[in-house]
Amino acid sequence: MGNYTIAVIPGDGVGKEVVDEGIRVMETLGMQDPALAFAFVRFDWGSEYYFRNGRMMPEDALETLAAFDAIYLGAVGDPRLPDHVTLQGLLLPIRRAFDQYVNVRPAILYEGIESPLKGKKPGDIDMLIVRENTEGEYSDVGGRVYQGSDREVVVQGAMFTRWGTERIIRYAFDLARQRPRKHLTSITKSNAQRHSMVFWDEVFRAVAKDFPDVQTSSQLVDAACLNFVLRPERFDVVVASNLFGDILTDLSAALVGGLGLAPAANLNPSRRRPSMFEPVHGSAPDIAGKGIANPLASILTAGMMLDFLNEKTAAGLINRAVAQVLAERKVRTPDMGSHATTRQVGDEVIRAIQTLQSP
């Protein structure tokens, strides 16, 4: 147990609403356990900050964030700004500066949730997708010349290092080893990308020799998309490059109830720099300010943060409370077919935590 200082970046749109519920849940845990305490420090960075200052966050933002135990992010994005402005102005600089090379996104089909896939029952889908988070296809390698002319040339490169590729694959193997099924699937496109993805396959096979207790398979990304839909129960832990992991995680979220139930973590496993935790959903400007955004992804993200901080009991309580609320089918936001508010769902999770903690 410990005292933690958490940097909170609510960001844009519904991010400002859903992080409040995650904070209330963590404060509830702290009030009931005197050995667990949180100090939350808010930063108003994001698109509104950009409109005032011409940048998504101040010049010394990374230096400021480095002092925190973790970063809790709501969402970034504004329809008035191109997506690359928000991504390159806040998310990617934080991920890269703090070497958050692991992106983990669980996809679990909970009791009380109906998958769009026919015949899938709670527990049939339970996978962890491990996405390389700092290089690969999002490395910003490339350029444009002769812009606006009929001679315009655009080059977009992908950067894969042996060091970076090996460490993300090794991390995924470590996760697979800790799970009952002990299975890891690598996703590539090595039939078409004969340099980067053939290289990835080679590294994967080399690292696999150090994990004889973990079963492995490799799939091309197009086949993996097909099998996510047709046979999702076959997947346990999945490891993929930055781009392929990004695509597959949104697909997996759709299979288990949507982005409103999709948490995520950007991890620096060395713990020498803070990790960042954010729900997968975006800023959802169409419902921002209405108080109806689903906070469960943000609350589950808080659970991932506590788990990474080695607060396993508190993290477990969050996960069990969310599972209980979903199984009861009583309090749900409009995206889940009902009419509850963001606050009411947060209240219900807090009630469930208090019930679970009662003697």
Is 150 annotated as catalytic? no
Q: How far apart are CA 128 and CA 322, in angstroms?
A: 18
Is 189 annotated as catalytic? yes
Q: How far apart are CA 201 and CA 198, in angstroms?
A: 5
Q: Where are the alpha helices (DSSP H) in the chain?
A: 15-32, 47-53, 61-65, 83-86, 92-97, 162-178, 196-208, 221-230, 242-255, 296-308, 312-328, 342-357
CA dihedral (74, 99, 27, 64) in degrees, to 10, reads -90
- Strand-pairing partners, residue 4, are 38
Catalytic residue among 44, 83, 121, 222: 222
Catalytic residue among 12, 99, 246, 335: 246
Catalytic residue among 124, 174, 201, 250: 250
328: three-class secondary structure by DSSP: helix
Q: How far apart are CA 345 and CA 348, in angstroms?
A: 5
In sign, the C-alpha dihedral spanning 89, 91, 92, 96 is: positive
Q: How many helices (H) and strands (E) does the chain have?
A: 12, 12
- Strand-pairing partners, residue 156, are 142
Closest CA to 304 of 325, 341, 278: 278
Is 174 annotated as catalytic? no
Catalytic residue among 121, 146, 290, 330: 146
Please name the residue that has the structure tokens 């960075």: 45
Is 250 annotated as catalytic? yes
Catalytic residue among 16, 126, 189, 335: 189
- What residues are annotated to the active site? 146, 189, 222, 246, 250
